[in-house]
């Protein structure tokens, strides 16, 4: 016992001595990140210390809303010594890519052979392409427009549209910005596609609510589409923020409905299609619009128009406060049925009945087998930027592409905003064919190889 006490006193005194004469902490210099957008971010540092460095850990991430503090750690290889250089590359194809404009942060945690730990200052960098000469413009406290092609008037026009969208959302739906929203305007859809990995070819815009970022491809001669698209995506960011939680989920008809509603009235094509569906009793059930929209172009357009109509009905019949209450109930983890019931006193079917009545549609046909609900097919809306499953770091940003598509391909017959066009369907079909072909070739390859092996064995025998 006495020995233990003695050892304790001795070690305490040693500790005091070592503290009093503590060598300077490890020195971290050349601490920087080199971006190779959109593929990689390589972190470098030179670390020196009076005592040999035993461990170097890179802690990193990106600034975003998360369900708790999550820090990713990387363990760069280095040769132990009193001066080491450490380097580690963040491969976006493996982790799932970040939106342009995201804020990266990192710091180094260094331990020497005495167990002394040094943590470098946390540094940040903006994950953005340097291929473009970005300019920025603020509009109010919450909007920052970034663009590189077109003059001030072009950017100011979009900033104004975004500002009106913000006000519309606040007064009509109770959706408010709670921090600056960065809007990156690419000069066209191709530039936009180059900036993100794994993106569907038809995407005209993406919203990243967790990072308060919107990216769009808007050319100068496509301004009218751009104004609507910017408001649409802005609404997704606002909805994402108001309803952010690790519990709840917002049904697609509500999220897309709010976004389309904030754009203003439906375009002529969509309005006509909706009226036809009302008259011919071919409306889709509200429940079927909860988890995703159809891949079929016409059905997808109708899904957006119906969602618009349902949200318009809820806001204009029951008011903004109830819409906010519904969104908050969803954020708090209630099911859609429960959230609707708490707020309006009806569930999804009750909503559909009331909405159908309000728009002069036929009453809902009650299915003989209410349990036999068709599985909806999903339009490639809510799945965006994701590579291999993300590391322990964070959820891959959920982006919700605009209902719109790049305006460059519009023809007079094509609705200019809402519908994934025919070529989307064709592209998807194309993908299916290519996929089928690849599977076929793989199977063929295996068969041929097996036959070859068999042939070889036979030959031996
Ligand atoms: Zn949308």
- pLDDT tens-digit readout, 224-272: 999 999 999 999 999 998 898 877 789 999 999 999 999 999 999 999 9
Give residue 247 CA to ligand 1 midpoint distance, Å.
Answer: 21
The model's confidence at residue 24, banded by pLDDT at 50, 70 and 90, is low
CA distances from 182 to 191, 261, 314, 332 (A): 18, 22, 29, 27
Task: Determine contact, residues 140/166, Cβ cutoff 8 Å.
Answer: yes
Give residue 236 CA to ligand 1 midpoint distance, Å.
Answer: 7
What pairing do the DSSP bridges indicate for beta strands 143-147 and 181-186?
A: parallel
Burial 103-112 (b: 16+ CB within 10 A, else e): bbebbbebbb
Per the listing, tokens 């011919």 go with 280
What's the pLDDT at 440?
45
Residue range 259-278, pLDDT digits in tens: 999 999 999 999 999 999 99
Give residue 314 CA to ligand 1 midpoint distance, Å.
Answer: 18
Say yes or no to pLDDT of 70 above 80.
no
Residue range 39-63, pLDDT digits in tens: 999 999 999 999 999 999 999 999 8
Per the listing, tokens 């971006």 go with 35
Q: How far apart are CA 363 and CA 355, in angstroms?
A: 10
| DSSP code of residue 221 | G
The model carries a pTM of: 0.73
Q: What angle do CA 377, 379, 380 make, to 5 degrees?
A: 130
Lowest mean pLDDT, pick from 77-81, 168-172, 444-448: 444-448
429 vs 205: which has the higher pLDDT: 205
CA distances from 201 to 156, 188, 401, 459 (A): 28, 12, 11, 50
What's the pLDDT at 201?
56
Give residue 215 CA to ligand 1 midpoint distance, Å.
Answer: 13
Say yes or no to pLDDT of 407 above 60.
no
Give residue 365 CA to ligand 1 midpoint distance, Å.
Answer: 28
Q: Domains in the chain, please, with CATH?
A: 21-127 (2.60.40.10), 135-322+375-434 (1.10.390)
Q: How far apart are CA 400 and CA 382, in angstroms?
A: 5
Question: At 435, which helix (H) or strand (E)?
Answer: helix 422-460
Alpha helices, DSSP H only, in 152-287?
152-168, 189-195, 223-242, 252-263, 268-279
């Amino acid at each position: 016992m006495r020995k233990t006490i003695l050892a304790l006193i001795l070690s305490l005194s040693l500790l005091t001595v070592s503290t009093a004469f503590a060598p300077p902490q490890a020195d971290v210099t050349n601490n920087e990140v080199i971006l190779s957008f959109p593929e990689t971010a390589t972190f470098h540092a030179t670390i020196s210390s009076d005592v040999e460095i035993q461990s170097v850990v890179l802690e990193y991430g990106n600034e975003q809303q998360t369900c708790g503090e999550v820090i990713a750690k990387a363990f760069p290889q280095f040769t132990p010594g009193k001066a080491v250089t450490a380097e580690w590359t963040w491969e976006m194809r493996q982790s799932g890519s970040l939106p342009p404009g995201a804020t990266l942060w990192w710091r180094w945690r260094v331990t020497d052979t005495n167990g002394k730990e040094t943590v470098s200052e946390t540094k940040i960098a903006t994950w953005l392409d340097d291929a473009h000469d970005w300019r920025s413009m603020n509009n109010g406290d919450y909007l920052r427009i970034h663009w590189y092609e077109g003059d001030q008037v072009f950017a100011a026009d979009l900033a104004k549209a975004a500002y009106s969208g913000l006000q519309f959302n606040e007064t009509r739906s109770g959706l408010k910005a709670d921090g600056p929203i960065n809007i990156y305007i690419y000069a066209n859809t191709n530039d936009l596609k180059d900036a993100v990995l794994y993106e569907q070819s038809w995407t005209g815009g993406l919203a990243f609510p967790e990072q308060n970022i919107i990216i769009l491809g808007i050319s100068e001669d496509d301004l009218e589409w751009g104004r609507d698209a910017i408001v649409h995506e802005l609404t997704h960011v606002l909805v994402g923020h108001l309803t952010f939680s690790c519990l709840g989920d917002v049904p697609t008809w509500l999220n897309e409905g709010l976004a389309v509603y904030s754009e203003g009235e439906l375009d002529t094509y969509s309005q006509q299609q909706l009226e036809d569906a009302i008259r011919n009793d071919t409306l889709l059930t509200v429940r079927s619009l909860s988890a995703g929209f159809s891949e079929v172009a016409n059905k997808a357009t109708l899904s957006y128009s119906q969602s618009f109509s349902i949200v318009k009905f809820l806001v204009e019949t029951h008011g903004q406060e109830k819409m906010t209450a519904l969104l908050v109930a969803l954020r708090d983890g209630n099911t859609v049925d429960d959230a609707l019931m708490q707020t309006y006193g009806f569930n999804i079917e009750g909503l559909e009945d009331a909405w159908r009545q309000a728009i002069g549609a036929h009453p809902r046909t009650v299915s003989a087998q209410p349990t036999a609900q068709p599985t909806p097919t999903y339009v490639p809306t809510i799945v965006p930027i994701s590579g291999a499953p993300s590391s322990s770091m964070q959820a891959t940003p959920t982006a919700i592409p605009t209902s719109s598509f790049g305006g460059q391909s519009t023809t007079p017959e094509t609705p200019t905003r809402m519908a994934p066009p025919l070529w989307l369907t064709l592209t998807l079909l194309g993908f299916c064919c290519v996929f089928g072909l690849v599977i076929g070739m793989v199977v063929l390859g295996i068969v041929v190889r097996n036959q070859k092996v068999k042939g070889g064995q036979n030959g031996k025998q």
